[in-house]
Amino acid sequence: MSTVAEMPVTRDPNMYFAGELGMEALLDRVLVIEDEFRSGYECMHCHEKGTLKCDQCEGSGKHRAIEHAKCSECNGVGKLQCPQCKGKGMLLEIPDAAKRRPTSGQIVSLGSEVKNVSMGDFVVFPNFCGEVYDLSGIDSGGVEQTVVLRIIKEREIICRITGHLKLRRVSHKSEVTG
């Protein structure tokens, strides 16, 4: 009985993997992972979590003075509801139907004919270009993850972006104001 030696699996660096599913851009196509939706109304007080560490017990849930007793402020949980957003994680809740798709993201795969952008670049693209795929699955840590992958042509990319801004609101102006 002969055994076949296992070949080491090497992953193509141009291939994007979501779990066991691999995707690669071809020809003039670019695969972009869309950025998360940001409304500008996220609670900065609790960093969108909806809870804050209890100051009384410093997040331990234990009473400071009485051993084996729960903290009376947080009832032993170690966290309190954020007073700013009242536990929602945002100051104004936007229904899913009203949320716009993000128009920026990071390139994770390039087709062979792509010349003007590189792997890892952050780019801006129009709202209604390309094909969009919502990929959901369980990551290696057992946590459910969703990635939004957009497949677009290189010519649909409006610009490359660098740096990072914490934007609260952005409005598009076509005329220059002075």
158: left (phi over 0), alpha (psi -120 to 50) or beta: alpha
pLDDT digits (tens, 9 = 90+) for 102-148: 688 999 999 999 999 999 999 999 888 889 888 887 766 777 878 88
Q: What pLDDT was estimated at residue 177?
A: 42
DSSP 120-140: T-EEE--TT-SEEEEEEEE-T
How far apart CA 73 and CA 82 sit, in angstroms, is: 13
Give mean pLDDT, residues 2-12. 53
Q: Which residues pair with 29 in a beta bridge?
A: 153
* CA terminus-to-terminus distance, the chain: 81
Q: What pLDDT was estimated at residue 142?
A: 77
CB burial of residue 53 (10 Å; 0-12, 13-18, 19+): middle
- Exposure string over 74-103, b if 16+ CB within 10 A, otherwise e: beeebbbebebbeebbbeeeeeeeeeeebb
pLDDT digits (tens, 9 = 90+) for 30-47: 988 887 766 667 787 787
Domains of the chain: 18-37+100-161 (2.30.33.40), 41-94 (no CATH)
How many CA within 13 A on the CB side of residue 70?
8
Question: What one-character DSSP code corresponds to residue 37?
Answer: P
How far apart CA 133 and CA 33 sit, in angstroms, is: 10
pLDDT at 174 over 50: no
Closest to 114 in 3D by CA, of 27, 13, 14? 27
Question: What one-character DSSP code corresponds to residue 59?
Answer: T
pLDDT digits (tens, 9 = 90+) for 68-103: 888 888 888 888 888 888 888 776 676 666 556 768
